């Protein structure tokens, strides 16, 4: 949670980079082992026959072509493709859909992405990880099962394309620079935090804190869902700066614990150490209550120093580009029309949600491909379920107003035997 407050938005397309210190894989020499078939009728011991040599051929292209032959039994390319689709089809298809959207977008803007730009993007990502290019690619292959070609095509290329689409929309203003100086060199708020997942729980915690403000740390240990800060009484490892993401959290924290009511001139009413906030919503399933530990004063800095200003502008520009890249991708998806025949879903342009229109076997295939994701039933299954429900409700064919009573039975009648 502390990290969520301190960091800004990042584009969702960046791959997770593994840690440092990974060594190269060691090649293991192949060992040929021979086994005598003692005691097996018909298998007399003797010198082994010549090992058949396999000739290198092109990968079969047609679905019916053999991809492997096991004791004379053929495994076709089509069977291999079906198995790959059932296991990883949805994940790969989503990547291809994203790539297709980006290809169309850069073509519409008369832009292009060169191989040199993709190479430079890989080098930049490796440098951000603190390792050289070769070690970076080896780490991705080992930890994420991504080949250099896959990384270049489906991660580095989209990164370059999104940046080209997003950068013309980004402008660094004087207000941005002023806020950045406040965020980096301004006051820092040291707080304890209690994180819960509902507003009702947040209100309950707030009432308990009101009754005993000195017991905030103990309540954090007992009630906070943040596993990093709860064991140490809710104390966040890093202080909160102004204008930190999420903005609604940092703005509320500073307003309640540092700035106070601008219309109240009574100095005794100003926030002080030990004060706490009301429930602050972080997301739909996250609410926090902060208690002020201390406020670290601002640092003295020359805001006219051209070197510092240039560094600030560069960092602001990069942060805004990253945020705009995410926005561009969301807009492309919103404007797109996508027919996903693997999941049987159709998304119309301008709609965020996809509609279900599939055959039953396609639903089954999609569920095999992504067992951890809920795939909706086909319309045929939905109609069958509705029919089964109607059989159990004789009045289902007549639409009753909401709240209307059930149809009464005849006086003196008894239930019919089954």
Mean pLDDT, the chain, rounded, equals 78
Residue 311 tokens read as: 């560094």
CA atoms within 13 A on the CB side of 394: 4
The CB density around residue 323, as the number of other CB atoms within 10 Å, is 17
Helix/strand/coil percent split, the chain, to 5: 45, 10, 45
**DSSP secondary structure string, 165-222?**
HHGGG----HHHHHHHHHHHHS-EEEEEEEEESSHHHHHHHHHHHHH-GGGHHHHHHH
Residue 313 has pLDDT above 80, yes or no: yes
What gap in Å lies between CA 409 and CA 415, rounded to an integer? Answer: 9
CA atoms within 13 A on the CB side of 73: 3
Average pLDDT over residues 68-84: 92
Domain ranges (residues) in the chain: 187-296
What gap in Å lies between CA 42 and CA 23, rounded to an integer? Answer: 49
Which parts of 232-341 fold into alpha helices (H)?
Answer: 247-254, 306-335
Q: Which of 326, 359, 327 is nearest to 342 (CA)?
A: 359
What gap in Å lies between CA 163 and CA 109, rounded to an integer? Answer: 13
Share of the chain above pLDDT 70, in %: 71
More confident residue, 76 or 402: 76
Tens of pLDDT, residues 77-120: 999 989 988 888 888 888 899 999 999 999 999 999 999 999 99
Q: Which of 355, 326, 329 is nearest to 99 (CA)?
A: 329
- 177 close to 316: Cβ distance less than 8 angstroms: yes
What gap in Å lies between CA 8 and CA 317, rounded to an integer? Answer: 13
CA torsion 263→268→269→275, rounded to 10°?
150
CATH placement of domain 187-296 = 3.10.50.40
**DSSP secondary structure string, 149-174?**
HHHIIIIIHHHHHHHHHHGGG----H
Tens of pLDDT, residues 335-374: 988 888 888 888 888 887 777 655 555 555 555 555 555 5
Of the ranges 12-26, 69-83, 144-158, 215-229, which one carries the lowest mean pLDDT score?
A: 12-26
Distance of CA 144 to the CA centre of its chain: 15
pLDDT of residue 365: 56
């Amino acid at each position: 949670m502390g990290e969520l407050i301190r960091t800004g938005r990042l584009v969702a397309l960046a791959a997770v980079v593994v840690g440092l210190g990974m060594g190269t894989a060691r090649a293991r020499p192949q060992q040929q082992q021979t086994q005598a078939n003692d005691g097996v009728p018909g298998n007399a011991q003797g010198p082994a026959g010549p090992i058949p040599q396999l000739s290198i051929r092109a990968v079969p292209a047609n679905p019916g072509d053999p991809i492997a032959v096991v004791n004379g039994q053929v495994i076709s390319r089509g069977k291999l493709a079906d198995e790959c689709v059932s296991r990883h089809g949805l994940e790969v298809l989503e990547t291809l859909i994203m790539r297709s959207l980006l290809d169309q977008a850069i073509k519409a803007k008369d832009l292009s992405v060169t191989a040199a730009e993709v190479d430079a993007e890989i080098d930049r990502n490796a440098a951000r990880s603190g390792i050289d290019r070769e070690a970076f690619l080896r780490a991705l292959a080992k930890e994420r099962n991504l080949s250099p070609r896959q990384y270049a095509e489906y991660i580095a290329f989209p990164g370059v394309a999104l940046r080209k689409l997003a950068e013309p929309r980004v402008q660094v203003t004087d207000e941005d620079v002023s806020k950045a100086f406040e965020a980096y060199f301004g006051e820092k708020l040291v707080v304890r935090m209690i994180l819960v997942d509902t507003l009702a729980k947040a209100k309950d915690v707030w009432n308990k804190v009101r009754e005993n403000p000195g017991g905030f740390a103990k309540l954090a240990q007992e009630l906070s869902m943040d596993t990093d800060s709860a064991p140490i009484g809710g104390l966040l490892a890093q202080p909160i700066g102004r204008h930190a993401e999420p903005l609604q959290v940092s703005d509320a924290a500073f307003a309640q614990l540092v700035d106070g009511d601008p219309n109240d001139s009574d100095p005794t009413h100003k926030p002080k150490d030990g004060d706490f906030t009301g429930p602050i919503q972080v997301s739909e399933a996250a609410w926090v209550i902060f208690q002020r530990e201390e406020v670290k004063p601002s640092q003295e800095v020359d805001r006219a120093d051209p070197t510092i200003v240039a560094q600030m502008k560069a960092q602001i520009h990069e942060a805004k580009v990253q945020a705009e890249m995410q926005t561009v991708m969301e807009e492309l998806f919103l404007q797109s029309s996508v027919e996903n025949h693997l999941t049987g879903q159709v998304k119309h342009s301008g709609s965020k949600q996809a509609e279900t229109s599939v055959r039953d076997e396609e639903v089954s295939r999609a569920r095999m491909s992504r067992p951890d994701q809920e795939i909706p039933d086909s319309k045929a299954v939905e109609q069958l379920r509705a029919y089964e429900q109607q059989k159990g409700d004789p009045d289902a064919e007549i639409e009753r107003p909401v709240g209307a009573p059930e149809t009464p039975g005849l006086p003196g009648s008894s239930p019919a035997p089954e």
